A and B are shown apart, each in its own frame.
Chain A
Amino acid sequence: MENFLQQLINGVTLGSIYGLIAIGYTMVFGIIGMVNFAHGDVFMVSAFIALIIFLALTQLLGVSSIYAAIFIVLLASMLLTSLWNWTIERVAYRPLRGSFRLAPLISAIGMSIFLMNFVQAVQGPRNKPLPPMFNEVIHITKGGSFDVTLAYKQIIIVAVTAVLLAGFWYLVQKTPLGRAQRAVEQDRRMAALLGIDVDRTVSITFVMGAALAAVAGTLYLVNYGVVSFSDGFTPGVKAFTAAVLGGIGSIPGAVLGGLMIGLIETLWAAYVSNDYKNVAAFSVLIIVLIFMPSGLLGKPEVEKV
């Protein structure tokens, strides 16, 4: 029982991070119908940016409060990662609108390889470990086989995710910007005829996806305290699985899918096999795509000629 409760807490933490990345996939897919394969690597780049800004603040500028440092890191990482994703969209995807169907995906795969190797070349291939931070824990149960703990950083992760999602939901549902996005999602040409700047709306979508990926990257760094150039690939595929599971194109679906993938992964690791936890996530991906491609909350897709 204690074990199950502890795994539940860990699963929700991990699932929050996956959910944040999954929103980037789902929004881009919704608006231009492409799988942004490089999104996982954008997440990795954001974790590196967070790491370096954190080191710069603490080592070079001498910021002593770790809370202030993390807050600045979060903002800086969101800003710079957005800049990266904006540039990527501008350089690698925008010229391909109207090209054949696989072209954007191949371009995104190329971008993913490029980002991974760029970071490896400029930051080196070794793992980057940070000393653990926010080590305080709350004991939920005591006296069982072991104490179930809730770490402060887990509370921070879930709280930041929840606050951001609320803000984000407001942005998409209630603002003119969100309305433009939903219009472009429904019919790009019609939206353009009605005076919506489609290119700008798509760019903003990429920027928003990157900002959320940057939050995920920073929280990932806080939680695990280590990052390497290859860390974008597996979380990227899992977040994509989350987006598909929740129904690609649906933002609440992405969060739901993220939480489910997080729980499946931790529970599988705890009760079945730790070595095969990635197999569990990847199998979920294959099964969902084959048997219910529209996911839990998605709309079924109609093939048009």
Chain B
Amino acid sequence: MTFDTQTKDSTLDNLLKEVPRQIESLRSIRETFLTDAVLLGEIPSPTYGEKDRIRLVIDRFRENGLQDPTLDEFGNASGIVQGSSGNSTILVMAHADSVFSADTRHVLEVGSDFITGPGIADNAIGLAAVVALPKLLSHLNIKFKDDLLLVANVKSLGRANMEGTRGFLETMSRPTKAGICVEGATQGRLSYSGLGTLRAQINLNIPSDYDWSSFGAAGAISHLNRLINQLMEISLPKEPKSKMTFGGLTAGSSFNTSPRTGRLRFEITSEGDEVIDDLEKSLHEICEQFSLETGTEVRMEIVAKRQNCGIPFTHPLVKTTRAIMHEAGITPKVDPSTGDLNAIIRAGHPGITLGLTTAENLREENETIHLEPIYAGLAQLITLLQAIDEGVCEL
């Protein structure tokens, strides 16, 4: 064991000892971040429509003591908690967009031990934690040598394909030690890799000259059903691990009229980039064949494609995170990310995604977070930031 390693271990030990005290202390100022979670969460913020929520983030950054919070050209809000040296930067990000449309009734219910409402877990509470971080650090009397760069990033989800994060990272020129993505759910997730992902949308259209009298003629729903069956017959390898998820199906509006158009949204994730490349080719072929056989117009649009990336399980950032989780009473579960972590790692920074609490009904209108685990979730975040600041997480 080198002296350097011994120093790191002892520094980490000292930080870990503070975790229980931090958890209790954070409990005493929960109103600070829960209020932000509710106020932010009740502002609709669909991807590409985050402007109003971001305006509140900027106001809150300012009220919480950040100097000159910034709105960048992509719509991201950011602010800096100045460190004593400022020689390097730790990035703390939370996405500000939500899967819910502006038409959804964004009303949250606050119970004694829960908050329920659309988008509270993904990601109003995560965003609130980042927004409230200066207040929490001040309350805990924690100061950093590094600058903390707090970012509420927009255009993260779905079709946006991390556009906000990628834009932010491309234009940021600060020396960065690490990036942490903060998600509301789920506590215990240990995401240190970005999963290879292909998101696609298949649009099926029945042309105006379609022969409704021919054998097998059908509306868009029947055709999409057959197409889905064909996609489900695609053999996915066990290794590298791969998965296909059907996330959205839209067609028709009545009981007795066959719709002429339909749309299928799905995602393929795989630990093998070559698997994704092969599947993309197969999907195009299936769509082309289906189109020719049925006389329908089938067009597949690739919405997002990302390659696998990550840092090793043995990276000090991952090891330290595991140790902190253990101390905070959180059971870690390896969970590759399909979100903004991918952009951070691909930009060359070591990164990790943390979940703050446990949740139910994710991405449903009655999405619910549990309040009791949040204090440990926040303590894990703050202790990890301290460890990065102390150099414990460097190779």
Q: Do A and B come from one complex?
A: no
A residues with a Cβ closer than 8 A to B are: none
